[in-house]
């Protein structure tokens, strides 16, 4: 249940780029033998602490709440329900994974 009410707290991003080249087996028995393992010329793994972003945005949200409340009244939108729905969207995005791979690059993003 805990995982369903909190927004994503961090994200992992893997970016691999450059033409794929055949990797070499590191075993002493078969040194130099090319395999089909994926090896990229450039690879980076990022761990993004999204909770810091939420902490930064929280004061801004509190400041913006009165303005949003007035706007919601003017446009006939149910304010608290909208706020709850937006928070639900954020919380629901936990576990999202996107992976795109082509011969030139591979990008993987996961929200935790």
Partner 1 sequence: MNDNRRQILDMLAGNKITAAEAERLLNAVECDPAGAGAKMKYLRVLVDTNDPLDGPTKVNVRVPMQLLRAGVKLTGVIPTRARDEVNAALRKEGIAFDINNVTPQNLEEMIEQLRDLSVDVDNENTKVRVYCE
For partner 1, the binding residues (CB under 8 A) are 4, 75-78, 81-82, 85, 88-89, 91-104
CA distance 68 to 89: 18
CB 46 within 8 A of CB 12: yes
Among 87, 70, 89, residue whose Cα is nearest residue 79: 70
Q: Closer to partner 1 at the Cβ: 24 or 94?
A: 94
Distance in Å, CB of 80 to partner 1, minimum? 10
Distance in Å, CB of 91 to partner 1, minimum? 7
Distance in Å, CB of 30 to partner 1, minimum? 28
């Amino acid at each position: 249940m805990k995982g369903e009410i909190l927004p994503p707290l961090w994200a992992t991003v893997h970016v691999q780029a450059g033409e794929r080249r055949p990797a070499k087996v590191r075993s002493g028995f078969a040194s130099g033998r090319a395999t089909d393992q994926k090896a990229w010329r450039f690879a980076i793994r990022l761990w993004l602490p999204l909770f810091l972003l939420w902490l930064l945005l929280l004061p801004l949200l509190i400041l913006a709440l009165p303005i949003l409340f007035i706007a919601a009244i003017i446009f006939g939108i149910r304010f608290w329900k909208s706020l709850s729905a937006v928070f639900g969207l954020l919380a629901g995005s936990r576990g999202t994974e996107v992976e795109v791979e082509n011969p030139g690059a591979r990008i993987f993003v996961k929200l935790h």
